[in-house]
Structure 1
Amino acid sequence: MTLTTSIQTPSRLSRRRGQGGLPRGVLIGAEIAVPVLLLVLWWVASAASTNAFFPPLQVILQRLWQLAQTPAFLVDVASSVGNLALSFVLATVIGVLLGLVLGLIRPLSWLVEPTVHFFRAIPPVALVPIFVSLIGFGTETRILSITLAAVFPILISTIDGVRAGEPTLDMVSRVYRLTGPERLFSVMLPAAGPRILSGMQVSLITAFVVMIASEMLGSSTGLGAATLLAQQSFAIPDMWAGILVLGIIGYAATALFTLFRRRVLRWYIASQQQEKNA
């Protein structure tokens, strides 16, 4: 065994440790144990429940298993996930492109930013009835509502990310004589990447909330519509089953995006860790 393999460097140790210096395995175990513990407490607390609006968790899970075997329920899940994914992708493309333009062209940004901040200040859910009144009920209305609500966090984060590194980027570009595309893809976007992805994370949460609201307002498909219909029909186990599935989808979407963010920003996370260990 050589000296380099026997000594644990800070970078190797950092891979085994998460936030707060705790081992990564402990953090992952805690992340799994907390939801399991909450489910156990819910199971115990509701086991003897006779309240029609608070059925036992066992009944809810049994009903969820039955619903999962019906084509209608699977169609509702696919509709919600599809609308969320498509709207999030559209919001990302629109937000990043507009953010780059407004971040680079200051006069245009001065003209447009007041309007951007005006629409950003409107609660996203409040836009859903407007689109329903103007366009009507349908998939297009839901996608438009989700996309418009989710685009603003990405747009503003992209503008801030481009402007934050602009002086340094100009200097680097002049020294290395980079062309426009090289400057955009090799310097500007990587430097703005952490802020853009932070905005995307906020946008994902916003898109999820508006997805549920848009499905509850006049839609006949999607988990939001199915959950609301179950509540109005006093099918309480079905309502709780829909809520559980919505929570699972939200958690899964956040977890997948977190993995994507870590993979894209490996260089940034590594540089931050090196500065911390220095």
Structure 2
Amino acid sequence: MNQSRGTAPDPAGRPGRRATAGREALVPPLARRSFAPAAVRHALLRWLVLALAVVVWQLVARAHGSVYFPPPAEIAGHAHDLWFSGPAGHLFLTEAAVADILPSLGRMAAGLGIAAVAGIALGVAIGRSRRVYALCDPVLQFARAVPPPALVPVLVVILDFGTPMQIASIVFSAVWPVLINTADGAGNTDPLRLEVAAVLRLTSVERLRFLILPSALPRIFAGLRLSLSLSLILMVFSELLPGTANGIGFTLTDAQSRSDLLTVWAALVLLGALGYLLNTVLLAVEKRLVGVGRTTTA
């Protein structure tokens, strides 16, 4: 019997050239001709949406012409003149930027750093024992539910107004997401791996380094990203209180008292940019340590 015109199958069972070509024809042309990685296309789309939002804001603000709703071009120009028009030797930072931005970032870094270290250490210690975690969970949930601004009068009595009180308020706000997420991640370590570690007679330090911390890393970073947002909020709130002489929050209240709306809007945009930048840096560190496939999306 005569064979068909199509290319005969390979003796090893692989399809012929015509069959392969038929399968390739089923693949959408856009999928075959896509040269940019999906991540790059996603990033470009996100920036495009942001650019469209800024353009809409600009057009609406220009059409409305209200002093209470300035266009983003004027806000960006004012922020540049106020904070980022300094000499190149000072990284283009002005004296106002040194007085407003750097103290705020210092307080936030100190508070978040203390909260991260304390939260991870206590979370690992609590999460390693299910009984201890069950006993401590009601206390942790109660402490997390207390609004940090409500503790400001207590902190003022204990520490008085100033930097220690501001850092303490940030620590109390930021420690709970890290602690609870770390305890949950440490408690969910694979029991089979723990049994293997016991068979191999790994020490407590080796178990912590090679089993518990790697297992808890995704949850730890989820808590850190939540704590980062809370730290930014409490940083601004603590600088709105009396006794503060610098910082972004102080700039907000000072500009409001002088009816300097451009500075108010510039400070708000600066806070949003700082939050986005810091979250992006933390996400990059998370991808480096945890891996792309296990990165959290908190």
TM-score interval (norm. to shorter): 0.7 to 0.9
Partner of 1:257: 282
SS of the aligned residue for 2:294 comes to helix
Whole-angstrom CA distance in 2 between matches of 1:195 and 1:183 = 18
Aligned residues: 250
> Structure 1's 268 and 193: CA in aligned 2 closer, same or farther, altered over 3 A?
farther
Which residues of 2 match residues 1-278 of structure 1 at below 5 A? Answer: 23-68=38-83, 69=85, 70-106=94-130, 108-165=132-189, 167-218=191-242, 219-266=244-291, 269=294
Q: Is the 8 A contact 2:116 2:178 kept in 1?
A: yes
Q: What percentage of residue pairs aligned between the two structures are identical?
A: 33
Whole-angstrom CA distance in 1 between matches of 2:157 and 2:53 = 41
What amino acid sits opposite 2:144 in the alignment?
R
Stretches of structure 1 lacking an aligned partner (at least 5 in a row):
1-21, 273-278
> Structure 1's 168 and 199: CA in aligned 2 closer, same or farther, altered over 3 A?
farther
Which has the larger share of helix? Answer: 1
TM-score where L is the length of structure 2: 0.77
Question: Which has the greater radius of gyration?
Answer: 2
SS of the aligned residue for 1:45 comes to helix
TM-score where L is the length of structure 1: 0.83
What amino acid sits opposite 1:257 in the alignment?
L
Q: Is the 8 A contact 2:129 2:187 kept in 1?
A: no
Whole-angstrom CA distance in 2 between matches of 1:168 and 1:201 = 30
Partner of 2:12: none
What amino acid sits opposite 1:87 in the alignment?
G
Whole-angstrom CA distance in 2 between matches of 1:216 and 1:261 = 32
Partner deviation per Cα, 1:101-133 (whole Å, 9 max, x = no partner) = 112245554554333221111123323343234
Once the two structures are TM-superposed, the CA of residue 64 in structure 1 deviates from its matched residue by 1.2
Stretches of structure 2 lacking an aligned partner (at least 5 in a row):
1-36, 86-93
Let me know the Cα RMSD of the aligned residues: 2.2
Name the structure, 1 or 2, with higher relative contact order (CA <8 Å, separation 6+): 1
